[in-house]
Amino acid sequence: MTNLKMNLKPLDQWGVTDNFPLIISGPCSAETPEQVMQTAKALVEKNPQVKVFRAGIWKPRTRPNSFEGIGIEALGWLQDVKKETGLLTSVEVANANHVYEALKHGVDILWVGARTTVNPFSVQDIADAMKGVDVPVMVKNPINPDLQLWLGAIERIHQAGITRLGAIHRGFSSGQNGRFRNAPRWRLPIELKRLLPDLPMICDPSHICGNRDMLQEVSQKALDLAMDGLMLESHPNPDEAWSDKNQQVTPDALAEILESLNLRKPEGDAIGTVDFLSLHRDEIDLIDMEILDTIARRAKVVKKIAEHKKEHKMTILQVNRWDELLKDRLAMAKKLGLDDKFSKELYQQIHLMSIRIQTAVMNAEKET
């Protein structure tokens, strides 16, 4: 796909900050007026780079009966933050009513969450509610690694007339228990930036990492990839947070992270200077995790089969089945362009493992 034509204002024309990069911080969720104000005041005191305060008011939780946000009442707390600290405010909006309420209460920047970006109906409703309003909007990537879906949501909001429009990269659900809560898959935001060079790209290391330990590393990487800003969750007492407690940091810890960052201002084609190898290594890490996870899942199924064979007094090896399976898998591998010799050796190893697992099941049962 070639570059798309959109009328987008670069971040320095948003009229929200002269700072580079744009730093947005605040709690995952607004919990109490005290927690919100305490966070905001500590942010201003310890982190002069933070210009925008974030707080979730309506929380899209994975499971019901968790804390689902304070709702409209907390919009008043954000107004107080703005009045007392001068920070701009931002909230997530997930439907048209959220947009009306947030605008009515003077919220400065709206963002669309990852669980909403996946649904074009919801995004369209939100876009319709934004028609004729000049408010900055940021669109988080969808939870699945689908660039078209992300782009589609951005286009819908843009068609509503929003030109102060940005994207937030918060990583992608991978179904694996890897290093990250949400795999960064850096190549997707980079591809989006290639298609829309004027689209400000903010990285959300908190939701990528899911823990505090890697926030610095991911923040630095985002800046090295020429992203325009960071959104980092902060809380006065992260361990007691009502949502996402593992990934929030105190305003003090945030200051340490921000001070440690090496702010390289992009020159020319910054994306082209990015470490090509490290990007592709991230992709390899994810693929390897998927390979190992798949092998482990196969081993579990083999174990179930072994238990069944034992119960029905069958032999471990059924020669015909193995012969058919090998032929079938080799044909499949060939279609995928894999080398015959490699596929055969791989399958011999997989089969050996399967026999070992089954033998172990049979022997274990013999002893009991």
**Which is closer to Mn ion, CB of 224 or CB of 244?**
244
| Tokens of residue 139, six digits | 């669109």
97-105, 110-118, 215-223, 351-359 -> range binding ligand PEP (CB under 6 A): 110-118
Among the listed residues 165, 244, 302, 343, the single contact to Mn ion using CB under 5 A:
244
* CA 2/CA 103 separation, integer angstroms: 35
Q: How far is the CB of 237 from Mn ion (least distance, A)?
A: 16
Distance between CA atoms of residues 223 and 263, nearest Å: 7
Binding residues for ligand PEP restricted to 123-162, rule: CB under 6 A: 140
Q: Is the peptide bond before 21 cis (omega within 30 degrees of 0)?
A: yes
113 binds, among Mn ion, ligand PEP, none (CB under 5 to 8 A by kind): ligand PEP
**Residue 114 near ligand PEP by CB under 6 A:** yes
| Shortest reach from residue 85's CB to ligand PEP, in Å | 20
* Residue 140 bridge partners (DSSP): 168
CA distance 178 to 172: 12
Q: Please select the residue that binds ligand PEP; options are 98, 105, 158, 170, rule is CB under 6 A.
A: 170
Q: Which stretch binds ligand PEP (CB under 6 A): 5-13, 107-115, 304-312, 340-348?
A: 107-115
| One character per residue 193-222, x = contact with ligand PEP (rule: CB under 6 A) | --------------x---------------
Vertex 232: Cα angle to 226 and 233 (nearest 5): 170
Per CB under 5 A, the segment of 2-10, 75-83, 101-109, 238-246 that binds Mn ion is 238-246
Beta carbons within 10 angstroms of residue 213's beta carbon = 11
Minimal distance in Å, beta carbon 104 to ligand PEP? 21
| Contact (CB, 8 A) for 45 and 87 | no
User: By the 8 A CB rule, do 225 and 184 touch?
Assistant: no
Which position's Cβ is nearest Mn ion? 28
Shortest CB 168 distance to ligand PEP, Å = 7
Contact of 33 with 77, CB cutoff 8 Å:
yes
Nearest to 50 by CA among 36, 37, 40: 40
- Which stretches of the chain are DSSP H helices? 33-46, 73-85, 96-104, 114-117, 120-130, 147-159, 187-195, 205-209, 215-224, 251-260, 270-273, 276-311, 319-335, 340-367
What is the size of the binding site for ligand PEP (CB under 6 A)?
A: 10
Joined tokens for residue 112: 């669309």
- Interatomic CA distance for residues 52 and 11, integer angstroms: 13
Residue 125 touches which of ligand PEP, Mn ion, none (CB < 5 to 8 A by kind)? none
Binding region for Mn ion (CB under 5 A) out of 171-179, 208-216, 236-244, 277-285: 236-244
Closest approach of ligand PEP to the CB of residue 208, in Å: 9
CA pair distance 52, 138, nearest whole angstrom = 13
Task: Give the containing element (helix H, strand E) for 166.
Answer: strand 165-169
Residue 169 touching ligand PEP (CB under 6 A) = no
**Contact characters 30-69, ligand PEP, x per CB under 6 A:** --------------------------x---x---------
When computed from its CA atoms, the radius of gyration of the chain, rounded to whole angstroms, is 25
Pairing of strands 165-169, 201-203: parallel
- The span of 112-120, 131-139, 213-221, 258-266 binding ligand PEP (CB under 6 A) equals 112-120
Binding residue (CB under 5 A) for Mn ion from 22, 24, 28, 208: 28
Residue 170 near which of Mn ion, ligand PEP, none (CB within 5-8 Å, type-dependent): ligand PEP
Rounded Cα–Cα distance for residues 362 and 307 (Å) = 8
Q: Residues 296-335 vs ligand PEP: string with x where CB under 6 A?
A: ----------------------------------------
Q: Which residues bind Mn ion (CB under 5 A)?
A: 28, 244
- Site residues, ligand PEP (CB under 6 A): 28, 56, 60, 92, 113-115, 140, 170, 207
